Amino acid sequence: MLSRTRIGAAMVAAGEAAKESVKQLLVPGMLFEELGIKYVGPIDGHDVAQVQNAITWAKGNDGPVLVHAVTRKGMGYAHAENRPDAFHGVSPFSVETGEPASGSGGAPSFTDVFGAALVGEAAADERIVAITAAMPAGTGLTRFAVEFPERFYDVGIAEQHAVGLAAGLAHGGMVPVVAIYSTFLQRAYDQVIMDAALQGLHIVFCLDRAGLVGEDGPTHHGVFDLTYLRAVPNLTIMAPADEAELVHMLHTALSLDGPVAIRYPRGAGTGAALPEHAELYRRGEAEVRREGADVAILAVGRMVPAAMAAADLLAEAGVEARVVNMRWVKPLDVGAIESAARSPLVVTIEENAVAGGFGAGVLEVLAARDAQPRVLQLGVPDCFVTHGDMAALLAEIGLTPSGIRDAILLALGHPQAGGTG
């Protein structure tokens, strides 16, 4: 009856709107129902019978169904319930105490070294701010968040926004450090190009978990960052061979202009002595770690120690290798590459996809030469590497010292090729 009058019709419309608003507020799943998706929940995700019933009901319906199960991370194990971030990805630990088992030889992780170094840098420069996407502990920023809460931003699982926010802060005169896992920066690729690089903004991207990450598997292996970042103009890329170099590279990155990316692996470092004072590296300058005339090995990141160990194994076979820690993936040290080209064989080693990676950059430099040496590219093959023990995965793709040695001996046609184990 109300709807038959002008005033009454307005009252009815207002009442319907109010009813829908209350339903949206109080009834779970209304958003999905409006989209034509049947909604079940929320249910107790730890109640097996509830979950089974919900899934059985969902399977019997036509069309899309969303089952909303609420769980608590670490449920049933007190240490995990109390410290869910510490148990996001676990290595061997004591069941009684929840503490990680020793076995790394006391070497700190790259993540911990980065976190401590950033705190030191921030204490000296109040312009430095840290940004993460829901991973403060995983990226080593917990201490930073405690000591500089007004300069710490956790944007949640929104990597695109993390980079966009960094661009805004950089425009305002701050020096943003964006700490994100290598595999997750892929989500913000457009922002890296358009918001950071195109603007030439000074943003430091610290890419944790670069390279293989073991049991976390194909979704978390950070083996594409050198490939997708090399193509971006104005962007500088570095890769430390050990934790001491990470300290120097962070200090250097903070002093440069424009966007800079530092990529480093998961887990314990090499045990290198950490410097009391960070040094500035000269942009685009590599470091020769070993001399040899039979083969030149150009390596980046965690593959530098592997290359040094491989050189020792090659020496036992009578092959002397020159080992260069390239340090910079962009810009490359052209002089170091040209020097390496005087060897009968140039070998590039990277814990990144061979397609479009560091080795491809070396080939681009050599392509401009009249006389080109033979080049062997070692890295992650054109496949998705499975999950598993780190040592086993590296062995599977030939990035262990013995695997590197065998590949080089084979390329040289050495008498011991194929018989070294």
Catalytic residue flag (residue 159): yes
Q: Which two tokens stand for residue 75?
A: 């449920």
Task: Determine the Cα–Cα distance for residues 264 and 275; give it in Å rounded to an integer.
Answer: 18
Residue 51: Cβ within 10 Å count: 16
Residue of 159, 243, 350, 351 with catalytic role: 159
User: Residue 325: which of 352, 303, 293, 358 has the closest Cα?
Assistant: 303
Task: Determine the Cα–Cα distance for residues 88 and 301; give it in Å rounded to an integer.
Answer: 25
User: Residue 194: which of 163, 156, 170 has the closest Cα?
Assistant: 163
- Determine if the peptide bond prior to 149 is cis (ω within 30°): no
**Residue type present at position 420:** T
Catalytic residue flag (residue 187): yes
365 burial level (CB within 10 Å; 0-12, 13-18, 19+)? middle
Residue of 19, 73, 342, 374 with catalytic role: 73
Q: Are strands 287-290 and 321-325 parallel, antiparallel or unpaired?
A: antiparallel
Catalytic residue flag (residue 23): no
Residue of 38, 187, 283, 289 with catalytic role: 187
- Enzyme catalytic residues: 73, 159, 187
